[in-house]
């Protein structure tokens, strides 16, 4: 490496490597450790895993009780399944909405493209919490949607959307749609047009060329976009908490309540660890495609 | 390239954009509603904005959020830039895979998991080293961790497209490698640094979940205050506050976009001049 001498390299590599290891990676080890402890009425509210016995030996006391508890208490299984189901269908709907949008943007002229992208990105950076709140203003019983529909005479009673699954779906789709559009656009933009021309020359009708050429080439974007929607959506807390009802128990909400409501840190840690194991597959897929795209 | 814009595509795009924007526009419109009843229009008024200026709890939370955002985005730009230099310029080093993983994972990791794990770390560290106390410091550290990921992604793509031959020319003319990087490449990637700072700033300003976990008693950021108010339902002063934040963040993002585009135009122009010369 000519650019920087070998010892100098570590001045660049070490600060972020150490910071992220200590403050992003190691925390998972602590969460695992505490998930094996028990709650205790003290500060911090859990027992020590390592302790010294009277004769100075190190004593290890771990218990898988919290994980067993997750399996026995129905609420966790139900919440995990409900979260997976909600995230899965929201991802499909986002894909159905986002693909034509991304495709349209990729077909636009360069100037229009950058304007359209800015329009899509702008809400992506606008406060997540405030966008969910803004959506509440639209769909609540006396909100704009019901007012308009009532005035038009299309409905005689306000639609009950708030505090239902529909509201949770709307919230997730509304919040995560840009995460789907951007990676899809990134792959569709790089699409090799000569292939489409070749398909046309060989007599393929446009829809056939789209299915045979465009769709297969956009698969990396489909996967990246789906993971960017699916993984955070499974762990969503703000949306089910503000828009959902008591039945819409998503795992993020259970974790939050366990932690802030019940102050049961070990069980909350166990929920987080179990949750992480559940997401390990999708996260690995995302990382794999991401690294491959960056190296390309 | 063939530019055809079928009516179906146009409709899909318009619908998508409408879905993204209508709720925000309605919210801003209602922040000027004179009536305290959120569903009745009572005429134009700036009453709720005036009210905000007298709300000490909100002002304090806003100040804390701004301090956290400035501190964490500045640190994240430094760490993120170092990370992208490492990943783009050093093809092989021990820990490369680990570093790649740690900058990509926060982009998808549910915040609730990051939040709880980081809190448990801070609590354990406090037991062992009597540092850090939960509050400003812990929120800043947690925000640096996820902002670094976003900075790395932004700067990395810019660094990849930066022309290495300019740096090599500088070194042939006697610059040290570090000097060549600082004097040649740093100005080229500067717009990406500015825009990633602005983006980190907005991300930090927005964060609710991670801050709620790692914060301590007495340190409430603006999103934490808003969340506890919103939990009670739609209210006109939150509308006013939300409108202000949306305008501030919108300006930041547009500024970020502007810097990126201006840099891109300059780069293209430079290349044209170079080719002619």
- Tell me which of B36-50, B65-79, B106-120 is least confident: B36-50
Q: How far is CA A232 from the centre of its chain?
A: 1
Integer angstrom CA distances of residue A165 from A142, A232, A244, B155: 18, 17, 6, 39
Q: Do A12 and B24 touch (CB under 8 A)?
A: no
Q: Phi and psi for B31 in degrees, rounded to 5?
A: -70, -15
Kindly give the residue spans of alpha helices, DSSP state H, lying in chain B: 7-30, 47-53, 56-89, 96-108, 111-129, 136-161, 164-172, 177-180, 186-206, 209-214, 222-230, 236-276
pLDDT at B158: 86
* pLDDT over 70 (residue B170): yes
Q: Do B104 and A290 touch (CB under 8 A)?
A: yes
Residue-averaged pLDDT of chain A: 87
What are the pLDDT digits (tens) for B124-152? 999 889 989 999 999 999 999 999 999 99
pLDDT at B5: 65
Facing residue for A23 by CB, picked from B100, B118, B127: B118
Min Cα distance A49 → chain B (Å) is 12
Facing residue for B246 by CB, picked from A8, A127, A236: A127
CB atoms within 10 A of CB B223: 24
Model confidence at B277, in pLDDT bands (50, 70, 90)? low
Q: Phi and psi for A203 in degrees, rounded to 5?
A: 95, 15
- Whether the Cβ atoms of residue A248 and residue A162 lie closer than 8 Å to each other: no
Facing residue for B108 by CB, picked from A134, A138, A286: A286
CB < 8 Å to A134, chain B: 23-24, 26-27, 242
Q: Token digits for A27?
A: 């925390």
Three-state DSSP state, A96? helix
- Whether the Cβ atoms of residue B54 and residue A162 lie closer than 8 Å to each other: no
What are the pLDDT digits (tens) for A249-277? 899 999 999 899 888 899 999 999 999 99
- Whether the Cβ atoms of residue A246 and residue A111 lie closer than 8 Å to each other: no
| B215/B253: higher pLDDT | B215
Closest-CA residue of A relative to B235 is: A137
* pLDDT over 90 (residue A25): yes
Closest-CA residue of A relative to B122 is: A27
Residue-averaged pLDDT of chain B: 87
- Residue B33 DSSP class: B
Half-sphere exposure in the Cβ direction for A97 (13 Å, CA): 24
Q: Do A3 and B234 touch (CB under 8 A)?
A: no
Closest-CA residue of A relative to B124 is: A30
pLDDT at A116: 87
Rg (CA), chain B: 23
What are the pLDDT digits (tens) for A132-167? 988 988 888 888 888 888 889 888 888 899 899 999
Name the one residue in this structure whose structure tokens are 């700072």. B197
Model confidence at B166, in pLDDT bands (50, 70, 90)? confident
Tell me what the mean pLDDT of segment A108-116 comes to.
Answer: 85
Model confidence at A3, in pLDDT bands (50, 70, 90)? very low
Q: Phi and psi for A83 in degrees, rounded to 5?
A: -65, -45
* pLDDT over 80 (residue B37): no
Min Cα distance A72 → chain B (Å) is 22
Q: Phi and psi for B174 in degrees, rounded to 5?
A: 105, 5
Tell me what the mean pLDDT of segment A66-70 comes to.
Answer: 89
pLDDT at B148: 96
Facing residue for A31 by CB, picked from B80, B103, B116: B116
Three-state DSSP state, B210? helix
Residue of A9, A10, A11, A12 to mutate, testing the B interface (most B Cβ within 10 Å of its Cβ) = A12
CB < 8 Å to A103, chain B: 9
pLDDT at B2: 45
Facing residue for A23 by CB, picked from B145, B245, B246: B145
What are the pLDDT digits (tens) for B193-209? 988 998 899 889 889 99
Closest-CA residue of B relative to A229 is: B108
Q: Phi and psi for B130 in degrees, rounded to 5?
A: 55, 30
pLDDT at A296: 58
Separation of alpha carbons B35 and B236, rounded Å: 8
Q: Do A100 and B9 touch (CB under 8 A)?
A: yes
Min Cα distance A291 → chain B (Å) is 8
Q: Token digits for B119?
A: 């809190």
Model confidence at B30, in pLDDT bands (50, 70, 90)? confident
What are the pLDDT digits (tens) for B10-27? 888 888 888 888 888 888
What are the pLDDT digits (tens) for A215-235? 888 998 999 899 989 999 999
Sign of the dihedral defined by the CA atoms of residues A66, A69, A75, A81, in that order: positive
Min Cα distance B193 → chain A (Å) is 16
- Nearest CA to A169 among A144, A132, A124? A132
A–B CB contacts, 8 A cutoff, strictly below = 264
H/E stretch holding A16: helix A6-20
H/E stretch holding A199: helix A193-201
Three-state DSSP state, A58? strand
- Whether the Cβ atoms of residue B245 and residue A130 lie closer than 8 Å to each other: yes
Closest-CA residue of A relative to B203 is: A125
């Amino acid at each position: 490496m000519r650019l920087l001498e070998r010892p100098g390299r570590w001045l660049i590599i070490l600060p972020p490597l150490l910071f992220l290891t200590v403050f992003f990676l190691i925390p998972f080890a602590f969460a695992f450790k505490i998930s094996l402890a028990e709650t205790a009425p003290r500060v911090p509210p859990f027992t020590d895993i390592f302790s010294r016995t009277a004769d100075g030996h190190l004593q290890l006391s771990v218990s898988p009780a919290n994980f067993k508890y997750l399996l026995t208490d129905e609420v966790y299984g139900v919440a995990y399944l409900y979260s997976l189901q909600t995230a899965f269908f929201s991802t499909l709907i986002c894909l159905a909405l986002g693909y034509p949008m991304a495709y349209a943007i990729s077909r636009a002229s360069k100037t229009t493209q950058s304007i359209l992208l800015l329009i899509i990105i702008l809400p992506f950076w606008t406060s997540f919490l405030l966008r969910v709140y803004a959506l509440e203003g639209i769909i609540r019983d006396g909100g704009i949607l019901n007012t308009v529909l009532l005035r038009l005479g299309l409905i005689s009673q306000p639609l009950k959307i708030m505090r239902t699954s529909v509201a949770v779906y709307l919230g997730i789709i509304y919040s995560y749609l840009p995460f789907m559009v951007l990676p899809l656009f990134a792959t569709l933009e790089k699409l090799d047009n000569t292939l489409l021309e070749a398909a046309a020359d060989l007599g393929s009708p446009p829809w056939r060329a789209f299915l045979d050429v465009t769709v297969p080439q956009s698969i990396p974007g489909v996967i990246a976009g789906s993971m960017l929607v699916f993984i955070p959506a499974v762990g969503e807390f703000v949306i089910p908490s503000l828009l959902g009802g008591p039945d819409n128990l998503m795992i993020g909400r259970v974790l939050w309540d366990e932690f802030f409501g019940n102050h049961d840190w070990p069980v909350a840690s166990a929920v987080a660890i179990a949750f992480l194991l559940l997401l390990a597959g999708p996260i690995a897929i995302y990382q794999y495609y991401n690294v491959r795209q960056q190296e390309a | 390239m063939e530019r055809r814009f079928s009516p179906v595509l146009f409709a899909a795009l318009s619908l998508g954009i409408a879905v993204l924007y209508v709720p925000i526009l309605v919210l801003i419109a209602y922040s000027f509603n004179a009536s305290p009843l959120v569903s009745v229009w009572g005429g134009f008024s700036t009453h709720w904005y005036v009210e905000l200026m007298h709300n000490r709890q909100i002002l304090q939370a806003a100040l804390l959020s701004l301090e956290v955002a400035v501190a964490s985005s500045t640190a994240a730009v430094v760490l993120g830039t170092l990370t992208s230099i490492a990943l783009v310029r050093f093809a092989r080093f021990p820990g490369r895979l680990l570093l790649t993983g740690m900058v990509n994972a926060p982009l998808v990791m549910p915040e609730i998991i990051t939040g709880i794990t980081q809190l448990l770390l801070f609590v354990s560290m406090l037991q062992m080293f009597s540092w850090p106390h939960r509050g400003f410091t812990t929120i800043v550290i947690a925000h640096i961790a996820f902002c670094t990921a976003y900075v790395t992604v932004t700067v990395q793509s810019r660094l990849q497209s930066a022309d290495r031959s300019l740096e090599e020319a500088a070194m042939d003319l006697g610059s040290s490698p570090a000097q060549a990087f600082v004097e040649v490449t740093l100005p080229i990637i500067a717009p990406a640094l500015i825009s990633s700072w602005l983006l980190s700033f907005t991300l930090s300003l927005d964060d609710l979940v991670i801050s709620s976990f790692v914060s301590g008693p007495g340190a409430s950021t603006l999103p934490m205050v808003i969340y506890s108010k919103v939990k009670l339902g739609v209210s006109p002063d939150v509308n006013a506050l939300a409108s202000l934040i949306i305008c501030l963040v919108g300006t930041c993002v547009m500024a970020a976009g502007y810097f990126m585009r201006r840099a891109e135009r300059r780069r293209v122009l430079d290349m044209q001049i170079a080719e002619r010369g």
